[in-house]
Amino acid sequence: MLATGDNPVAGTLNATTSAAALGSQVCSAVLVQNDPGSANNLLIGDSTSQPFSLKAGQACTIPCSNVSKVYAKTASGAATANWIATQ
């Protein structure tokens, strides 16, 4: 649940086989979803390893200080990472 002053910020990343940061936004947590229309799994992690796999429509919440700390990629093809962060 959002509280007064949370100021959520949302974005998307077109993930490919090269790991990339979701974006750059100060936050206390980020919710990451593999878009329901994605044909490939989305791999989530940090800048060196992305071991957490999300199937289309699945999501996870990651406590972090900046969205730039979370990286996404695919094993093959492309997927869309949807994210929303709160401060």
Q: What is the CATH number of the domain that holds 75?
A: 2.60.120.10
Indicate whether 53 belongs to any domain: yes
Please report, as a single letter, which amino acid is at residue 29. Answer: A
- Say what the pTM is: 0.91
60 strand-pairing partners: 32
Indicate whether 76 belongs to any domain: yes
Instruction: Report residue 5 as tokens.
Output: 């002053």
Indicate whether 2 belongs to any domain: no
Indicate whether 15 belongs to any domain: yes
Listed range (7-11, 33-37, 42-46, 81-85) with the worst mean pLDDT: 7-11
How much of the chain exceeds pLDDT 90, in percent? 90
pLDDT over 80 at 2, yes or no: no
Indicate whether 35 belongs to any domain: yes
How many structural domains does the chain have? 1
Indicate whether 4 belongs to any domain: no
Which domain covers residue 44, as residue numbers?
A: 9-86
Backbone angles phi, psi at 10, to 5 degrees: -120, 160
